[in-house]
Chain A
Amino acid sequence: MQTLYLALALFLLVNLGAGMWRIFRGPTAADRMLSAQLFGTTAVAVLLLLAQTKENTALLDVALVFALLAAVTAVAFVRRAWTDQEVDHDSE
């Protein structure tokens, strides 16, 4: 069971690689932010798996804080950094 959990955590981390590529390439700011949100969700899943392998319930609290604060980052992005006609260029 431990191996399965670790393998799943590894699989999710590899998925984050795809997310990293999306943050890097964009092209719009919303793409990047959504990818960061994917990071948050995946990190919650990885934490839950690691909490099982280590049998450490404190990691569940870390996952809880992750999940809550990801919402604040998303709201801050929409309210502060996002404009409707977003043209995002890397050569800025």
Chain B
Amino acid sequence: MLQWALDALLGLGLLWLAWCALMSPNLLKAIVLFVAFGLLMALAWVRLDAPDIALAEAAIGAGLTGALLLAALARLRFAYADEETVGSPAQEEAKVRFPQWLPAVPLLLVVAGLGYVVLSLPPYATGLSTEVTANLESSGVSNPVTAVLLNFRGYDTLLELVVLLVALLGVWSLDGLALGRETAPGPVLDTLSRFLTPVFILVAAYLLWVGAHAPGGAFQAGSVLGAAGVLLLLAGWRFRAGLTELPLRLVLVAGPGAFVIVALVTMLMEGQLLEYSPEQASILILFLETTATFSIGATLAALFFGGRPQDDKEHT
């Protein structure tokens, strides 16, 4: 009964928050609702016995995305402060040309397709968990989620890293909009960032290490590391000019790069892409996860920063 009430409350709260976030005309309110939605979503994942996803949701959904959206909103406000009068007539015109219900058509098609797929699933399926459990011995780790992400289906993770990198390239190629004012951080924020940054780094290292046998891993550790970068950026800390060029780029591509090299080497040695021999699997996975953590952290912090770092030198 209690469990049922807990789940019902979570589900209703999620639906209500999602609806309010979508319908809110006030963007800041929508962002706060989205952050609250992420927190409840993580609790829902815990109730569904998926602590791995709960950890990812806590780190990315509730934590970093909120900060990213807030920074985007600040830039929007700064941009609209100049262009409000110029921008609005063009928007009015666009509204006349495209009826508002038009986006609903492809959306309905997607919903219909998804509905068909869900309905055509077999009512009961064991999935691949028995095979994963049977092969866990040879994967090099004892956490089945890490085994799947880094060993059995390593190429998925490789492509996810590339997606993150492409996202950053997209932001950089858009040539970021400079923030208007950046006041001095003040003693409280300064002290907070000095205290918290080592804790963030420690927690990131812990999550990376614990991923081998419990929920954790490169993405969670990387986003905690990225959060440390965001905190430092917010506290007014900037890279020295020499570090933003090649060294930063090397860190950004280290994760996907290491993955590609390992993939090629294993293909030459074992004949299959990313097929590790059981003896080396453990150390290879740790190596890949460590480089991925640094890359993900640097990428997320760079995404938060916005435009290419060297472009910002004059503004900060």
| Chain A residues with a Cβ under 8 A of chain B | 3, 6-7, 9-10, 13-14, 16-17, 19-20, 23-24, 26, 29, 32-33, 35-36, 39-40, 43, 46-47, 50, 56-59, 61-62, 64-66, 68-73, 75-81, 88-92
Contacts and interface: CB of A to CB of B under 8 A. Distances in A.
B220 interface: yes
Interface residues of B toward A: which range? 35 or more
Contacts of B63: 65-66, 68-70, 72-73
Interface in B173-199: 179, 185, 189, 192-193, 196, 199
A61 B73 contact: no
Contacts of B3: 6
6 contacts: A24-B29, A35-B36, A65-B203, A66-B58, A68-B196, A68-B199
Given A23-B36, A65-B59, A81-B74, A43 B43 contact: yes
A58 to B, nearest CB: 4
B2 A7 contact: yes
Which 6 pairs, one residue from A and one from B, show the smallest C-beta to C-beta distance? A69-B63, A76-B67, A80-B74, A6-B2, A58-B51, A32-B32
Contacts of A75: 67, 189, 192-193, 231, 234-235
Contacts of A70: 62-63
Interface of B is mostly: helix
B31 to A, nearest CB: 8
A36 B59 CA distance: 15
Contacts, number: 174
A73 B27 CA distance: 16
B200 interface: yes
Contacts of A65: 55, 58-59, 63, 203, 207, 220, 224
B216 A61 contact: yes
Contacts of A17: 9, 13
A20 to B, nearest CB: 7
B6 A6 contact: yes
Interface in B65-119: 66-67, 70-71, 73-74
